[in-house]
Structure 1
Amino acid sequence: MNWFEKLNEYFPVEEMKSKEHMELLLEEKSDVYYKDEGSEHVLMYAEFKEFIFIDYLYVAPSARGKGLGHQLIEKLKGKEKSIILEVEQVDYQDSDTSKRLNFYQREGFKHAKSIGYNRRSLATDQDSPLEILFWSPTNADEEKIYAQMHRMYEDIHTYKDEQLYGQSYQEAEEVLSFDQSRDVEDIFEGLKEKQ
């Protein structure tokens, strides 16, 4: 199985970029977009001057619980930049979502409760609400994380979208919102209550 097949099998269709999109990013944005691949993992990420965005992190089932994910995150943390990623809300029918959240909580990530994120999937034509997690060596505030997400969305998620998909994704302002009074439970608190 190649790297794209591994990602495509693991991640929901509404969260997946096309293989062409990722290959174009790797080729045309090779100074920003990277693939770290091994026999038991695939890590796709964008590294900007001030932050890193994890696009996809896949660890083979045979390697889970053996510290590989931790090693990959530690490698990124070593760059001394904020690390941002999107996660699905917890689905208690799907144990993978809670396992992913437990993993990121153990790695010291925080839930950006002030940031709303809801993108319409071009693949399913359905809204795909996600939550933003981040880790910061400098205790960056959520407003800064929001600005970084905005930049990543425009530079990575919507890169040549019309050419690749025949239509454009929504503008960043439609997808991302920042509201410090956003009334949302901390995604990690909800996880603790269900355990």
Structure 2
Amino acid sequence: MKIEVLPEQKGYVTLLMQRGESLKASLIEEVFSTSNWFNRLREYFPEREMKSKEHFEILFQEQAMYQLMEGPDYIVVYFEQQDYIFIDYILVSGTNRGKGVGSIVLNELKSKGKAIILEVEPICMDDPDSEKRVRFYERHNFEKMDIGYERIHNVTSELNKMDIYCWSQSPVSEKWVLDRMKEIYTEVHAYKVKEIYGRNPQPVSEVLWLKGSIEKLAQ
């Protein structure tokens, strides 16, 4: 796991790494709890979109490419693979929105040269920020995929419908994005769900499909 932390924490982490000491689970938890990243996410995102703290910690400890990038005015939680990056959560503090912070963060991820996939809440009249989020990603050349995505929350049992957006330097097909989203669902959203929440995860075929495809019509 890679940890990018607040400036005041970097000296501590760097010193440990210079000593050759490993960042074990207890230390990872200490660094994260110091930064208050979980509470900041929970205050902004609706419960139906949040993972439990235990789920986050297991992902950080066991999925090496599930990572946290954090600064005083932003938080990004993402899952990085060889050919893509999935942004699980991105948050820019309210007072810093509209100042280019989100663009800087996205450009930093784009500089890795990989496709970027993310889930975006559809525009909703009850949530003025929903349209702002969609327009923000469109300005950064993210394209909405014709992919259906409906997931039942592991705690609230609410049905959460999201749109899938993708940015890539070279063209990718919707089938390519769908295949990566299936991997993301299995390795991130549904990872150890039975152990953490005491319920079986939904089959991936119920969660993701190409709209209008035979796969969906058969369900």
TM-score for the superposition, normalised by structure 1: 0.88
Structure 2 counterpart of 1:190: none
* Superposed CA RMSD: 1.4
Structure 2 counterpart of 1:146: 178
Task: Give distance in 2, aligned partners of 1:65 and 1:168.
Answer: 40
Task: Give distance in 2, aligned partners of 1:180 and 1:51.
Answer: 25
Q: Is 1:8 matched with 2:42? A: yes
Q: Percent identity?
A: 41
Which of 149, 168, 183 aligns to 1:136? It is: 168
Count, aligned residues: 180
Which of 205, 208, 211 aligns to 1:173? It is: 205
Which of 62, 67, 83 aligns to 2:116? It is: 83
What are the equivalent positions in structure 2 for 1:35-74 lying under 5 Å apart?
A: 35-74=68-107
Instruction: Report the AA paired with residue 39 of structure 1.
Output: P
- CA shift digits 1:92-139 (9 cap, x unpaired): 1211111111111111100002x1000111222121111101101111
Instruction: Report the AA paired with residue 124 of structure 1.
Output: T
Instruction: Report the AA paired with residue 40 of structure 1.
Output: D
Task: Give distance in 1, aligned partners of 2:83 and 2:205.
Answer: 21
Structure 2 residue runs of 5 or longer lacking an equivalent are: 1-34, 215-219
Instruction: Report the AA paired with residue 170 of structure 2.
Output: T
Structure 2 counterpart of 1:97: 130
TM-score for the superposition, normalised by structure 2: 0.79
Task: Give distance in 2, aligned partners of 1:71 and 1:78.
Answer: 11
Instruction: Report the AA paired with residue 54 of structure 2.
Output: E
Instruction: Report the AA paired with residue 2 of structure 1.
Output: N
Greater helix proportion: 2
Which of 162, 165, 179 aligns to 2:194? It is: 162
Instruction: Report the AA paired with residue 17 of structure 1.
Output: K
Which of 33, 58, 82 aligns to 1:24? It is: 58
Q: Is 1:123 matched with 2:155? A: yes
Task: Give distance in 2, aligned partners of 1:86 and 1:173.
Answer: 17
Secondary structure of the residue that 1:97 maps to in structure 2? helix
Please list every run of at least 4 consecutive aligned residues from structure 1 whose deviation after the TM superposition is greater than 3 angstroms. Answer: 179-182
Higher relative contact order (CA 8 A, sep 6+): 1
Task: Give distance in 1, aligned partners of 2:69 and 2:208.
Answer: 28
Task: Give distance in 2, aligned partners of 1:123 and 1:67.
Answer: 34
Task: Give distance in 2, aligned partners of 1:179 and 1:105.
Answer: 21
Task: Give distance in 2, aligned partners of 1:134 and 1:171.
Answer: 23
Structure number with greater Rg is 2
Which of 15, 26, 34 aligns to 2:67? It is: 34
Structure 1 residue runs of 5 or longer lacking an equivalent are: 183-195
Q: Is 1:110 matched with 2:143? A: yes
Task: Give distance in 2, aligned partners of 1:4 and 1:46.
Answer: 17
- CA shift digits 1:28-64 (9 cap, x unpaired): 112x100001111110000011111000000000111
